[in-house]
Amino acid sequence: TAGFEWTSTSFPDGTHLVHCPTDTVSFPWTFILSDDEFVQKVEWYFSPSNDEPVLALGRLHARVSRRVYHDKETDEYHVQLECGTILNPGDANFSVAWKTPKGHRLSSNSFINGVFYLPLPNPVKGGEYSCRLDRASVAVFKCPESKASLFKAAFVRVSETKSRSLVLETSLSHMKRQLEELRNTVSTVSKME
């Protein structure tokens, strides 16, 4: 038999609570004791779950990625921008809004290891790009102080010349690898004849 009985004001098992940093948290659990029972000690334990919608982020940073993006459908290479780092997104579903030097808005939901990526169309247009969390997706954040810092944009300056050189170098390396593979295939076929 149970040693106590939860009352109607108690949280049911598995209840999820949403709180912000520095919030005071109270647990209004009451219970009913039998005449021969008494409370000697109450201990609370917390164990975080990996599937909780937790977000750890102080400020966004934008930069030009060191890696060039390869679009397998078009077989083209693109310079890509990064916006992050989000330390622990949990299962929060959100995206990043980008702004081009000419004021055009682009969205990015390509999210890998805490960073959003945006491949730039070729030829790359130089200038200042910015990223910020998309306002429509910030509803997942419950803490006002977090929202304020999350709406601040991060900026990155993109050089047309450097970007185009990077794409050309990567394309050239790719063509060299393909040429070497073709030579090996021709050599193998020649030996078979």
Contact 99, 125 (CB under 8 A): no
137 within some domain: yes
The residues facing 157 across adjacent strands are 128
Contact 189, 158 (CB under 8 A): no
CATH code assigned at 168: 2.60.40
Q: How many domains in the chain?
A: 1
77 within some domain: yes
70 within some domain: yes
114 within some domain: yes
- Domain with 138, as residue range(s), is 61-176
Which pLDDT belongs to residue 143?
61
142 within some domain: yes
Give the SS3 label for residue 182. helix
Give the SS3 label for residue 136. helix
Which pLDDT belongs to residue 53?
46
- pTM of the complete model: 0.61
Give the SS3 label for residue 82. strand
Which pLDDT belongs to residue 180?
93
Give the SS3 label for residue 122. coil
9 within some domain: no
86 within some domain: yes
**Which residues have C-beta within 8 Å of that of residue 35, sequence separation ≥ 6?**
none
Per-residue pLDDT of the chain (193 residues; tens, 9 = 90+): 345 556 666 666 666 666 666 677 776 666 677 778 777 776 666 555 555 444 555 567 899 998 899 999 998 999 999 998 775 555 556 778 899 999 999 888 688 887 889 999 999 999 999 998 776 665 555 565 555 565 678 899 999 999 989 889 988 988 899 899 999 998 888 888 7
Phi-psi bin for 59: left (phi > 0), alpha (psi -120 to 50), beta? beta
Which pLDDT belongs to residue 85?
76
Which pLDDT belongs to residue 8?
64
Distance CA 153, CA 129 (A): 10
54 within some domain: no
Distance CA 183, CA 10 (A): 74
